[in-house]
Amino acid sequence: MSSRSFGAILTFAALVAFPCASATAQGQGPAQTNTIEFGIDAGATFGLGDVSSIQVTLPAARFRAGFFLPGNSRWSIEPAAFISMTKVENIDLITTYDLELGALYHFQPALRVLGSPPPRQSVMYVRPFIAVDGITGGGSSDTNNDSSSDSEFSVGTGLGIKIPWRQDLAWRLEANVGYGFDTQAFRLGLLPGLSFFSR
């Protein structure tokens, strides 16, 4: 990961944390502490540009952990990651990765309607995010080919809904759009997943 990409992620985290902390200080939403939303998502991504592409990943395209801010159940900070490593004889380890940092704003206090006891109801949210994805390795020892790496920084926004299923479990459906600065192309994404709320 380049220093520019890492710096952009830190800047984004700081910008997100400031308004979230302000909202918490104003006492919006019920008091909640130590609540984490763990989840996995399947994924489908459609690349739009000079060279179109389609990528479908089943059953899980990424793992995520959302941290609700204490005293505010409308905001959560959510890192997500996908890492795949492949090793073939006489070829260096190939690592494919996708790292994201997002901030979810729920249109209703999420923990009040997703938790127990009933009644419970679905909650819609918006999720701006930044991401770095890429691949490293792949050089061959037989042909003396050097391993290479390639990464791309992207930003985007998703709109989704969390649908209660059982106590502390919810389905999650999201559609998002992102822009990659290296390929200069837009991407449309679909993320159906399942969330578990740890209290």
12 in a structural domain = yes
The band of 137, judged by pLDDT with boundaries at 50, 70 and 90, is: confident
Q: What is the pLDDT of residues 63-83, one digit of tens each?
A: 999 999 887 789 999 999 999
110 in a structural domain = yes
25 in a structural domain = no
**Which residues constitute the domain of residue 94?**
3-20+33-163+188-198
pLDDT score, position 146: 60
Q: What is the pLDDT of residues 74-111, one digit of tens each?
A: 999 999 999 989 888 878 888 999 999 999 999 998 87
Residue 27: left if φ>0, alpha if ψ -120 to 50, beta else—which one?
A: left
The one-letter code for the residue type at 152 is: E
28 in a structural domain = no
Instruction: Give the bridge partners for 165, in sequence order.
Output: none
120 in a structural domain = yes
103 in a structural domain = yes
Cα separations in angstroms, 7 against 28, 144, 146 = 31, 34, 28
Q: What is the CATH number of the domain that holds 128?
A: 2.40.160
Q: How many domains does the chain have?
A: 1
148 in a structural domain = yes
For residues 100 and 80, is the Cβ–Cβ distance under 8 A? yes
The three-state secondary structure class of 113 is: helix
> CA 146: distance to chain centroid?
32
The band of 122, judged by pLDDT with boundaries at 50, 70 and 90, is: very high
pLDDT of residue 132 exceeding 90: yes
pLDDT of residue 163 exceeding 90: yes
Q: Is the dihedral of CA 28, 22, 110, 107 positive or negative?
A: positive
pLDDT score, position 34: 67
113 in a structural domain = yes
Cis ω before 117 (30° cut-off from 0): yes
